[in-house]
């Protein structure tokens, strides 16, 4: 039997009209039984998300700002929920909830509690609108003492709670849960995705639909390539590689609960429900077999520290000593390209910046290198695709296209699993290189 968990992002619930669309989507498929909403997001570019306004209310309350400053922001929040309720034609008086929350933020509740109320109120309204049961996340999503999700307890108690509701649909607000001491805690921003993933697991869903404002993951960043293709199917591993390199649609922690249970995630567009979206799966051996690459992502802002030392190749323990220096300063490295007598460490410039002088002094002192140079302004590009495995000539096509575009490649790294090729180029060449690779593999656009 098909059972679906459906999570709707803030842009899908920004006003009453969007709540209606969400209602239509849920009602059009009886297997959409478990619903996880975000807080209402922006209605237009310069609008403000409810979550951001709640953080602002908390800040104002703690800074002892004049009451009017708090009230003016809080009133906007109240107005948005009232408009949604009115637009949906619901006979529900939300005043009591709004008063209670205001009082709690002003008097005792923490920052996470304040932020979480966006999802909480969305959940109550959506449950009433759908005629579904409401299950408060603070009764079923548990964090441990260390602040990390207590998956075991959560899955156990959430499974039992969802069973109690049988065939009836359930709404569980995203983004928050409870600490052992009884205070509300949120995941990091965008964390309703994580709630959706846990609900999918605990409810035994066969599919986790994540509804947003785009029709799936794009092969490349649409700010760089015009109208890039949507990725039809992507594996969890490919997605990890692309997300790490900057492609963002899903919260990265949302992948693990469903991946381990083999539940696919379907990224769908609330405004275009007929679009198939992107399917994220454990394995996709035959799909898109003609397609060599799945996606291209990248980031600017990397530095390369290059250590030169004669006879480095035969000096056992050299690499370890170099890395120990970075470890000592709490710096994680991205890549380690090396030559015979040189070793380069690629790391994020903003992180390195704060410790640069100390790290270089320490390297000089511990390693006694013949040369020690730092180059900033590197951009990294990841070309990812399960289709690259054993496909001859892919690297040549990637490098050829970049060089034909007149871009110099400063670093190359390919994992032996052949799932990705990483290249480093100067930041000024980043966009040009991404475009060149995209059109090499998708010449038709
Ligand atoms: N509303 C929260 C945020 O803006 C969580 C979410 O939307 O997933 O980050």
Q: What is the domain count for the chain? A: 2
- The two three-digit tokens of residue 207, written as one number: 């599919």
Cα 14 to ligand 1 centroid, rounded to whole Å: 12
**How many whole angstroms separate alpha carbon 249 and alpha carbon 216?**
8
Same domain, 15 and 155: yes
CB-ligand 1 contact for 197 (6 Å cutoff): no
Residue span of the structural domain in which 15 resides: 4-213
Coil, strand or helix: which one is 268?
strand
Same domain, 207 and 328: no
Confirm whether 236 is domain-assigned.
Answer: no
**What pLDDT shows up at residue 290?**
64
Beta-carbon contacts of 137 under 8 Å, excluding residues fewer than 6 positions away, are: 116, 119, 120, 123, 172, 173, 174, 175, 176, 177, 195
Q: For residue 84, what is the domain's CATH number?
A: 3.40.1160.10
7 within ligand 1 shell (Cβ under 6 A): no
Residue 123 CB–ligand 1 contact under 6 Å:
no
Residue 72 included in any domain: yes
Contact yes or no for 62/110 (Cβ under 8 A): no
Report CA(42)–ligand 1 centroid distance (Å).
11
Instruction: List, edge to edge, every strand of the sheet that includes 265-269.
Output: 133-134, 170-171, 32-37, 4-8, 207-212, 265-269, 278-281, 233-235
Predicted local distance difference test score (pLDDT) of residue 67: 86
Residues 164, 303: one domain?
no
pLDDT tens sequence for the chain (445 residues): 899 999 999 999 999 999 999 999 999 999 999 999 999 999 999 999 999 999 999 999 998 777 899 999 999 999 999 999 999 999 999 999 999 999 999 998 999 999 999 999 999 999 999 999 999 999 999 999 999 999 999 999 999 999 999 789 999 999 999 999 999 999 999 999 999 999 999 999 999 999 999 999 999 999 999 999 999 999 998 988 888 777 777 898 898 899 989 999 999 999 999 999 999 998 876 555 567 899 999 999 999 999 998 887 778 888 899 999 999 999 999 989 888 889 999 999 999 999 999 999 999 999 899 999 999 999 999 999 988 877 788 889 999 999 999 999 999 988 777 788 999 999 999 999 999 999 999 988 7
Q: Looking at the structure, do residues 8 and 107 belong to the same domain, yes or no?
A: yes
410 Cα–ligand 1 center, Å: 38
Supply angle C-alpha 188, 194, 195, rounded to 5: 110
Task: Give, for ligand 1, the residue of 11, 80, 189, 196 to mutate: max count of ligand atoms closer than 8 Å to Cβ.
Answer: 189
Q: Given the structure tokens 């001491």, which residue do they identify?
A: 181
Q: How many CA atoms lie within 13 A of 218 on its CB side?
A: 18
Q: Is residue 254 part of a domain?
A: no
Q: How far apart are CA 239 and CA 237, in angstroms?
A: 5
164 lines ligand 1 (CB under 6 A): no
Point out the ligand 1 atom lying closest to the alpha carbon of residue 9: 7
Say whether both 206 and 302 belong to one domain. Answer: no
- Res 287: pLDDT: 57
In a domain, 70, yes or no: yes
Distance in angstroms (rounded) separating the CA atoms of residues 220 and 231: 9
Largest CA-CA distance found in the chain, in angstroms, rounded:
79
CATH number at residue 385: 3.30.2130.10
Q: Is 186 found in the same domain as 335? A: no
Residues 190 and 333 in one domain: no
Determine if ligand 1 sits within 6 Å of the CB of residue 281.
no
Rounded to the nearest angstrom, the distance between the alpha carbon of 69 and the centre of ligand 1 is: 24
The torsion angles phi and psi of 401, rounded to 5 degrees, stand at -65, -40
pLDDT at 204: 96
Q: Which of 187, 213, 239 is the last residue of a domain?
A: 213
Q: Please check whether residues 183 and 84 belong to one and the same domain.
A: yes
Q: Is 70 exposed, middle or buried (0-12, 13-18, 19+ CB in 10 A)?
A: buried
Any domain includes 235:
no
CB of 117 shorter than 6 A to ligand 1: no
pLDDT (0 to 100) of residue 71? 95
Query: Which of 196, 213, 230 is a domain's end point?
Result: 213
Residues 337 and 411: their CA atoms lie apart, in Å, by 7
Residue 231 lies in a domain: no
Is position 251 within any domain? no
Sequence-ordered list of residues with C-beta below 8 angstroms from that of 414, at least 6 positions apart, any chain: 395, 420, 421, 422
Cβ 52 vs Cβ 118: under 8 Å: no
Residue 51 CB less than 6 A away from ligand 1? yes
Any ligand 1 atom below 6 A from CB of 191: yes
| 39 within a domain of the structure (yes/no) | yes
- Could you say which of 172, 192, 213 is where a domain stops? 213
Same domain as 421, residue 326: yes
Asked whether residue 301 falls in the same domain as residue 175, the answer is no
Ligand 1 contacts CB of residue 186 (under 6 A): no
Task: Evaluate if pTM is beyond 0.85.
Answer: yes
Q: Quick one: 202 and 323 in the same domain?
A: no
């Amino acid at each position: 039997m098909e059972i679906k968990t459906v999570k709707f992002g803030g842009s899908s619930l920004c006003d009453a009209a969007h709540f209606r669309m969400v209602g239509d989507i849920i009602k059009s498929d009886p297997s959409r039984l478990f619903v996880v909403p975000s807080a209402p997001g922006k209605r237009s570019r310069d609008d403000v998300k409810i979550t951001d306004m709640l953080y602002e209310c908390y800040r104002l309350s703690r800074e002892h700002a004049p009451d009017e400053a708090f009230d003016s922001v809080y009133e906007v929040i109240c107005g948005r929920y009232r408009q949604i309720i009115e637009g949906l034609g619901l006979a529900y008086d939300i005043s009591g909830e709004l008063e209670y929350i205001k009082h709690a933020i002003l008097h005792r509740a923490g920052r996470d509690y304040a932020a979480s109320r966006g999802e909480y109120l969305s959940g109550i309204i959506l449950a009433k609108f759908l005629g579904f049961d409401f299950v408060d996340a603070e009764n079923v999503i548990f964090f441990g003492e260390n602040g990390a999700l207590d998956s075991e307890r959560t899955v156990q108690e959430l499974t039992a709670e969802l069973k109690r509701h049988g065939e009836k649909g359930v709404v569980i607000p995203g983004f928050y849960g409870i600490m052992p001491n009884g205070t509300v805690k949120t995941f990091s921003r965008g964390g309703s995705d994580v709630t959706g993933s846990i609900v999918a697991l605990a409810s035994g869903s066969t599919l986790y639909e994540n509804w947003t404002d785009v029709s799936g993951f794009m092969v490349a960043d649409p700010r760089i390539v015009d109208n890039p293709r949507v990725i039809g199917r992507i594996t969890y591993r490919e997605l990890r590689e692309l997300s790490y390199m900057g492609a963002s649609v899903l919260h990265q922690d949302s992948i693990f609960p469903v991946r381990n249970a083999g539940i696919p995630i379907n990224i769908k567009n609330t405004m275009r429900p007929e679009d198939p979206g992107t399917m994220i799966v454990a394995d996709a051996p035959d799909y898109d077999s003609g397609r060599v690459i799945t996606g291209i992502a990248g980031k600017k802002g990397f530095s390369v520290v290059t250590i030169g030392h004669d006879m480095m190749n035969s000096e056992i323990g050299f690499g370890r000593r170099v890395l120990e220096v970075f470890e000592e300063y709490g710096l994680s490295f991205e890549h380690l390209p090396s030559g015979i007598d040189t070793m380069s460490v690629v790391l994020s410039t903003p992180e390195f910046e704060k410790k640069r002088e100390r790290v270089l002094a320490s390297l000089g002192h511990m390693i006694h290198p013949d040369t020690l140079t730092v180059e900033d302004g590197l951009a990294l590009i990841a070309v990812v695709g399960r289709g690259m495995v054993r496909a001859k000539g892919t690297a040549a096509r990637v490098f050829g296209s970049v060089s034909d575009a007149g871009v110099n490649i400063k670093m190359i790294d390919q994992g032996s699993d052949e799932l990705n090729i990483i290249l480093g180029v100067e930041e000024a060449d980043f966009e040009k290189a991404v475009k060149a690779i995209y059109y090499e593999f998708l010449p038709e656009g």
